[in-house]
Each structure stands twice: as C-alpha cells, then as structure tokens.
Amino acid sequence: MRALRYSILGATLLMIPCIISAQTSENEKFTPAIEDNSMFVEEAYNQEDRIVQHISNLVFLPVNEENIYYSFTQEWPAFGLRHQLSYTLQLYSFVKADVAGFGDIFINYRYQLSYKENFVACSPRLSLIIPTGNHSKRLGDGSWGLQFNLPVSKRWTNHFINHFNLGTTYYFKVKQDEIGFSRSMISYFAGFSSIWLVSQKFNLMLEYMTYFVANPDYNNKVYYINENIIAPAFRYAIDVGKLQIIPGLSVPFSLTKEEGTKVGLFFYLSFEHPY
C-alpha cells in the first residue's frame, strides 16, 4: 500500500504542468528547447544527423553510505534521425564494502517512430546487456540480457514538456551463487517527468520512476522489490561555438518498503557536437 501511495503522489505532482497547459493550440510553433535526456526518464528524441553526444552520470545514493555509481553513454545517429546507436559503460564503487569495478555493458539501438512538434515523439529502444561485471562482487547480474524501453515525449507549450517511459529488463540466466541456482528473470519499470522550460537554456525538472526488480528466493522462485524515486532537478545549456555543454543536478528521494526513504545526489554532464 505504501508503494501505491508513493506512485499516486508522484504521478499527481507530475501531472500538474500537464493540466495547466492542456488548452494549448495544436498549431502553435514552439521556441527551441533543450532536448537532452533527463536524469532518470529517457526522452524520445534521437540524435540529429552527424551530431554525437557524450553523457556522464555520477550518482551518490544514498549519500551517507558512500555508494557511488558512474555511467558513460555515447550516442551516434545511424543514417539520419530515424536510427540511433549507443553504448553505456558503468562503474561502481561501494566504499564501505571495499568493492569497486566495471559493471555490465549496454549496447543500445533506438528507432525514431514518430517526431512531430505539435503531436508526440516516440522512440522505442532495445538494448543488449553484456555481463562484463563481476557478479560475486555485486558489479553485475552475471547474465546476458535484453532491455526494452518505450519513451514518449509531448511538448504542450513553450514552457512545458512531459516524458513517459514504460519498459522491461529480461535476464536469460541469473546466477545465485549462495543457493546454487540459476534462472531467467524479468523486471519492470515506468517513469514520468515534467520539464519546465524557464528559458531556452535553463530547465527545472521533476521526475518520477518506479522499479519492480526481480529477485530469486531460496526456493528458486521470484519475488519483487519495488523502489520509487522522486527527483527534483535542473539543467542548463552552455553553447561554445558548435559545442553544447549541459550540466545538471538532481536530488533523488528513493522510497522502498524494506529500507524507507534515502536521499542521494545525481550529477549530469553532456557534451554534444557535430562530427
């Protein structure tokens, strides 16, 4: 019930800009805006032709336990706007457990299914998960896998955009060294965000994500842990010639039944330029 209340609260908060701006004319021509990925919610805009983007995420969650997560993603257009290829590298550091190392690698493909200024943008993604992380040290899941996400973006006015995510992650054979079992597992996630375009270069953001993460028990059955994240954030665009630099900062609140509320910090940095 607590997880359901968190989900309802997050959705209600994020729907406010949508309600305010619902009367906008469908024929309105919008001013330029930052079309970067958010911190947690994936936006449905592929890279433009011959534009490459380098994205770094640095996460402390929770701050007082010294768990550090870093990821690097590089996005490339493939034959124009329709197709996009990217990869994601991950690095973990659990300071108190004295464990650090690289996690699993994601190879991603996105297809720009639709992109209309006054309608919606939709860009489904399929990712191959390569088990390069050390599973015994909690640096990976120890299994090949696939992840699917359906991001949808809608700009309502010159000042408000909403983004929606719905996805699933499937692992073919997750190792459970402690109990001697291996089995396939599937997890689910969904997200919703509101972006307030304070100006063309400055955004205030509110994101909500919910995760249902599969875990095996000692009978080799699956139970799910639900984590809800509510994250206020901001980002700012800096143009240096043809290079666009976008730093961002988020304060995520992680809410779970098992561990209560934890607070973290999320630093975002993007470099985008032609090649």
Mean pLDDT estimate for the chain: 86
Eight-state DSSP code of residue 137: G
pLDDT for the residue numbered 19:
46
Beta strands in 21-66 (DSSP E): 51-60
Nearby residues of 14 by Cβ (< 8 Å), 6 or more positions away? 162, 192, 193, 194, 206, 207, 208
- Asked if 165 contacts 189 with a C-beta cutoff of 8 angstroms, the reply is yes
CATH number (domain holding residue 107): 2.40.160.40
Beta strands in 198-221 (DSSP E): 202-216
- Asked if 73 contacts 79 with a C-beta cutoff of 8 angstroms, the reply is no
Counting as low any pLDDT under 70, the low residues of the chain are: 1-28, 63-64, 117-118, 176-181, 218
- Asked if 65 contacts 80 with a C-beta cutoff of 8 angstroms, the reply is no
Neighbours of 147 (CB within 10 A): 18
- Token pair belonging to 143: 């299994």
pLDDT for the residue numbered 74:
97
User: Which residue type, as a one-letter code, is found at position 34?
Assistant: I
Domain count, the chain: 1
pTM: 0.86
Rounded to 5 degrees, φ, ψ at 2 are -65, -40
pLDDT for the residue numbered 178:
62
pLDDT for the residue numbered 9:
54
d(CA 43, CA 151): 6
Domain with 9, as residue range(s), is: 2-274
